[in-house]
Chains A and B, each alone.
Chain A
Amino acid sequence: MESNLITEDKQKNKLEKAFEILKTMASKPSGLIGLTIVLFHVILALISPYIAPYDYKAISPNTMLLAPSAEHWFGTDSLGRDVFTRTILGGRTALTVTFFGSLIALLWGGLLGIFCGLVGGKIDDVVMRVVDAFLSIPWILAMLLIVSLLGTSTEVLIPALGFFYGKGIVRVARAATHDVIAKDFIVSARARGHSNMSIIWNEIIPNVRDAILVEGAMRWSWMLLGFSSLSFLGFGVSPPTPDWGLMISNARGLMSFAYWSVIAPIVGLSSLIIGINLTADAFAKALGIDRSTKAPV
């Protein structure tokens, strides 16, 4: 039995572990579909500038509102721009902004949540009430205020979105920490006299990391929707940069006779959101923190 165990637990390095998780995720159809969609969008965002058939900002009165054809696969919009070109380019800003926004949200939300969960008491009370207060403000109004004051550059959007989507992570991280904090290995570290920072870094983070990462992945998809909403309202990406939210906003008045210019960006946006959601679910299952476990009988 001894020798049996040893061969089984060859030390796996981190890369191998990550690969293993990916393999588990892809072993179920929903996970495979999710991963494929996300991968497709990421690759598309990377290569789209090189494969786009037309110039995304080339306006031409001759090609206004053309229906889909061999020349213009998805038709053209009210300014005569190629919808296919604009659709494949339209996810780039959204993906970049929300990816970095999610990272910021994870970082500050996760750390603050863990800290509150660990120290408890008055500090925890005060911080959580402040977070609650922010949760009660409609984020879109606050975002609009920030954007109108500071402008719509990515340097403003990323931290602002990161801040507003991190509030929810604080609560998740705090709850995950509470699950761990009562365990004896934390008590043991406390009794040994480790500092709070050392306990957070060595004992808590390895045990709550998975839960926070899954939450972060879910937030990413929500943030995408949020970012697109901002663009839709005209506060996200400024024209003529192609963006799904902006494209939907521009074309929605013409929906009744030029449906193609709306459908393409909608498909782009919703497929990415669904893809991220499916991936996050599969990720959670692969890490063993599935929330939909059934009763044993």
Chain B
Amino acid sequence: MNEIIESVKNLSIGFNSQKGKQISILRNVSTNIKKGETVGIVGESGSGKSTLALAMMGYIKQGLFPLTGECLFKSEDLLKMSSRQLEKIRGRKIAMIPQNAGQALTPNLKIGYQIDEALRLHTDLNKTERDKKISELLNKVRLPSPEAMAFRYPHELSGGQQQRVAVAMALAGKPDLLLLDEPTTGLDVTTQAHVLELLRFIAKDTRTSMIYVSHDLGAIAQVSDRIVVMYAGEIVLEGPARKILKEPIHPYTYGLLKSIPKLSLAGLPASMPGSQPQPGSINEGCSFYDRCNLANDNCKKNSPGLEHIKELDTNVRCFNYKELINQNNNLQTSITKKTNNSEANEVLKLKDVSISYAKQKFFDQLLNKISDQNPTVKDINIDIKKGETIALVGESGSGKSTILKSIAGLLKTKDGQIKFENDRILSSDLKMRNPNDLRAIQLIFQNPDESLNPNHTVEQILSQPLKLYFNLSGEELKKNIIDLLKKVRLGEFYMSRYPRQLSGGEKQRVAVARAFAAKPDIILCDEVTSALDVSVQAAVLNLLQQLKEDLGTTYVFVSHDLAVVRAISDRVAVLYQGRLCEIGPSQNVYKFPSHPYTEVLLGAVLEPDPDIKPKLVAEDIVEEKPPEKGCSFQGRCPRKIGDICNSEVPPWQIGENGNAIRCHINIEELASLQQ
């Protein structure tokens, strides 16, 4: 058990800046991987976690080079090997599973052929043995009917199945070490839970060592034996998974854990101020000094070394770690938020809204009718009250963003009406809406890199809505921009910056400011935090809540993350395949009885706690089209009762908690089943 597979010693990796300065991305990293052990490497974007993981298989990105140290794989230095020597090790001894298996698999070769290729390269088996091995591997990663699967093309599989194929390919060479770079990040929650469970099983079954790189502490908690926490290119905390997650004794890890929204807690998570320092900007002192609330003068001048604490079996890089020992109770707290009063008027009503992506046939186009009996989104009825935050939750393909776009007028509805203020019908055509309605509904997008014009300064970005809606110019315009920046807690000097000069969190703040510039009544938030790091996510959530409390704005908040939704929303609507499953006050949706789909979703949420395992109730198959009749969830429902589910659309039932559920099972029965 204690045999060391790979050991990284004192590794520093860096690059030469344009001014000729040597800047390091990894600084003096040392760690060991033992046989059969799964090590999780966690950190926010830019912490150097991927650089470290890639160096562990002897790969260093173009432009970077090792400054000091070595990567010993079975006492041979990978960084000194020729590419021919590395070829013999990669795939056979060290295999890698990429983040996006859909892109890593060759689209025009069959699955079986691609696995066969790996086997031919890395083993000495003959053709019949290899064929047997292929189905054996596919069986091992639990793909249904492995023989048939081998003859499929990658695009015929779902994202989760593609990731399983990638795992099978990696296992083909019987590697000693598996490297996983964010392997579940692009997957849906339920699929992610299934893949993680498979990885855990494989680690146990084959005694393969794994390095699991992720920004997601929830996923890391499910698979890792040991966790390495990276910050600004250094290891700041390293130790057994349970100790790190339950008793984090480094202020960064502590703050990180606190900033993750949790299912068990209503209210917003605490955020950490500031952002990670840029490589090369730290000259002296602790790299976490700026953001640390335990920092003192000593931390400013001297940088702490990695200290081993025997009783906790942990390495920590902090002078003041003792203050954090036995502080773990504080982890389970959150900021309570004001809930709005339910008496308020309705500001937006969706009435029987259906949306179809189907292309009109030429003949139908002449008659101006849409011939789609089974639209992507169907019969959505939601009344949104003034000042509330309503969340639309569901996996990819649930139609949540589609609904958002049609509210914004970017997509035409097929049937139904969208009513705004006093039951005035909003045209589904953007060009037909009056300017005041356009102003009243604003959008914030998922990825601030894409939603801000890269060639505009922050000032230009914010002046667009101000000029358009309020005709401001000159000094008045400038004053308004400064006010807006102040609202999102950015200083005046940000005005002359370009988006590329801002961090992810700052960019999203600018996007929030742009939405608020229009003085809107409703803001549509499309996965606004999912491209951000956790500590930044918490800050943005807190900012949105604060602005709402100050200005009384209504949010329609779309997210796939149930914990984030729990933190921010007053009311939740759960969607599956474009049909509503459940809707109700958020504290009640998270309680049983729930719609079976909500139950599946809640079960799959990954908490940063090794003791809370996801409950895998439904299969992780992906449906491409909503069923033509009956319940939308019939294909995957673990509680399906029979033909009625296939033929009849279930009725709405109101539970005693006040949440409405659309299911054929009687609500009291559902409650007793789910207890």
Contacts and interface: CB of A to CB of B under 8 A. Distances in A.
A194 B514 CA distance: 14
Given A4-B281, A11-B496, A296-B61, A191 B453 contact: no
Interface in A1-28: 1, 4-6, 8-9, 11
A193 B409 CA distance: 10
Contact of B410 (A5, A187, A203): A187
B468 A194 contact: yes
B447 A1 contact: no
B430 A191 contact: yes
Contact of B62 (A190, A198, A203, A296): A296
A189 interface: yes
A188 interface: yes
A184 B496 CA distance: 22
Contacts of A190: 410, 430
B348 interface: no
Contact of A193 (B281, B430, B450, B456): B430
Contacts of A188: 443, 445, 451, 514
B62 A5 contact: no
B528 to A, nearest CB: 11
Contacts of A193: 430, 433, 435, 438-439, 468
A4 B278 contact: yes
Contacts of A4: 278, 281
A183 interface: yes
Nearest to A195: B468
Nearest to A208: B455
A193 B446 CA distance: 20
B344 to A, nearest CB: 25
Nearest to A183: B450
Nearest to B496: A11
**Is chain A's interface secondary structure helix, strand, loop, or mixed overall?**
helix
Given A1-B278, A193-B435, A184 B454 contact: no
A291 interface: no
Contacts of A203: 453
Contacts of A138: none
A210 B451 CA distance: 20
A203 B454 CA distance: 9
B408 interface: yes
B199 to A, nearest CB: 26
A264 to B, nearest CB: 43
Contacts of B451: 183-185, 187-188
A238 interface: no
A2 to B, nearest CB: 9
Contact of A207 (B409, B447, B454, B464): B454
Interface string B504-532: 00000000001000100000000000000
Interface residues of B, number: 40
A189 B408 CA distance: 12
Contacts of B496: 9, 11
Contacts of B275: 1
Contacts of B447: 184
A176 to B, nearest CB: 13
B277 interface: yes
Contacts of B468: 192-194, 198
Contacts of A198: 468
A188 B450 CA distance: 10
Nearest to B441: A191
Nearest to A202: B464
B409 A184 contact: no
A198 B435 CA distance: 15
A242 B514 CA distance: 59
Contacts of A184: 445-447, 450-451
Interface residues of A, number: 24
A190 B435 CA distance: 12
A213 B446 CA distance: 32
B453 A206 contact: yes
A206 B442 CA distance: 24
B336 interface: no
B290 interface: yes
B288 to A, nearest CB: 12
B363 interface: no
Interface string B415-452: 00000000000000010010100110111011100111
Interface in B268-294: 275, 277-278, 281, 290
A5 B465 CA distance: 27
A187 B526 CA distance: 13
Name, among B61, B278, B409, B453, the residue most crowded by chain A CB atoms within 10 Å (CB to CB): B453
A160 to B, nearest CB: 34
B666 interface: no
A24 to B, nearest CB: 11
B443 A185 contact: no
Contacts of B455: 206-207
B443 A9 contact: no
A198 B467 CA distance: 11
A185 B501 contact: no
Contacts of B61: 296
Contact of A9 (B278, B501, B518): B501
A192 B456 contact: no
B362 interface: no
A11 B460 CA distance: 14
Given A11-B496, A206-B456, A189 B464 contact: yes
B452 A191 contact: no
Nearest to B290: A1
Contacts of B497: 9
Nearest to B469: A192
A6 B501 CA distance: 10
Interface in B218-272: none
Interface in B76-92: none
Given A191-B430, A193-B433, A202-B464, A185 B452 contact: yes
A283 B14 CA distance: 29
Name, among A8, A187, A207, A296, the residue most crowded by chain B CB atoms within 10 Å (CB to CB): A187
Name, among B278, B409, B450, the residue most crowded by chain A CB atoms within 10 Å (CB to CB): B450
A192 B454 contact: no
Given A191-B438, A192-B438, A194-B464, A185 B430 contact: no
B58 to A, nearest CB: 13
B423 to A, nearest CB: 22
Nearest to A187: B410
Contacts of A194: 464, 468
A8 B280 CA distance: 14
A290 to B, nearest CB: 15
Interface in B154-201: none
B518 A192 contact: yes
Contact of A192 (B278, B453, B464, B498): B464
Contacts of B62: 296
Interface string A202-235: 1100110000000000000000000000000000
A142 B324 CA distance: 82
Name, among A6, A9, A183, A184, the residue most crowded by chain B CB atoms within 10 Å (CB to CB): A184
B181 to A, nearest CB: 14
Given A6-B493, A9-B498, 17 more contacts: A1-B275, A1-B290, A9-B496, A183-B451, A184-B445, A184-B451, A185-B450, A187-B445, A188-B451, A188-B514, A190-B410, A191-B408, A193-B438, A194-B468, A206-B455, A207-B453, A296-B61
Q: Which 3 A-B pairs have the closest CB atoms?
A: A206-B455, A193-B438, A184-B451
20 contacts: A1-B290, A8-B501, A9-B497, A9-B498, A9-B501, A185-B452, A187-B443, A187-B445, A188-B451, A188-B514, A191-B408, A191-B438, A191-B443, A192-B438, A193-B439, A194-B468, A198-B468, A203-B453, A207-B454, A296-B61
Interface of B: 61-62, 275, 277-278, 281, 290, 408-410, 430, 433, 435, 438-439, 441-443, 445-447, 450-456, 460, 464-465, 468-469, 493, 496-498, 501, 514, 518
Interface of A: 1, 4-6, 8-9, 11, 183-185, 187-194, 198, 202-203, 206-207, 296
